Amino acid sequence: MLVSNLMRKHLVLSTPECSFKTLLCKMGRLSPRQIYVVEDDLRLKGIITGYDLLKVVLPEYMDSNLLKSIQEPEIDDYLRKCINKVADKKAGEIMITEFVFLKPTDHVMEAES
């Protein structure tokens, strides 16, 4: 089977200058949660996942147990403050730039290896 049989053809794109808040809004509507960062000529520069945005928002020491310990309405205020701290970040600062890519004519088994 070829990669073209499985690949998504409708992608959500962004420029490297796209703001964090815009990325967050785009990400909320997606399934799976991936944004492709491209230049004006549509050349792929990087990929941003929901996890990448989460890593930017939450401090490194924050784990799921600590996050669960923050109660409402404090959690809303806490997250709002965290998001506001990184509001000036751009897609180019957040994106993953090392990735593997395949051509539509490649076989799926090549993708597995």
pLDDT digits (tens, 9 = 90+) for 42-65: 999 999 998 899 888 887 777 666
Q: What are the beta bridge partners of residue 35?
A: 48
The C-alpha atoms of residue 107 and residue 83 are separated, in whole angstroms, by 41
Backbone torsions φ then ψ of 98, nearest 5 degrees: -110, 115
- Report the pLDDT value the prediction gives residue 79, as an integer from 0 to 100: 83
Full-model pTM: 0.78
- Report the pLDDT value the prediction gives residue 75, as an integer from 0 to 100: 74
Domains of the chain: 3-99 (3.10.580.10)
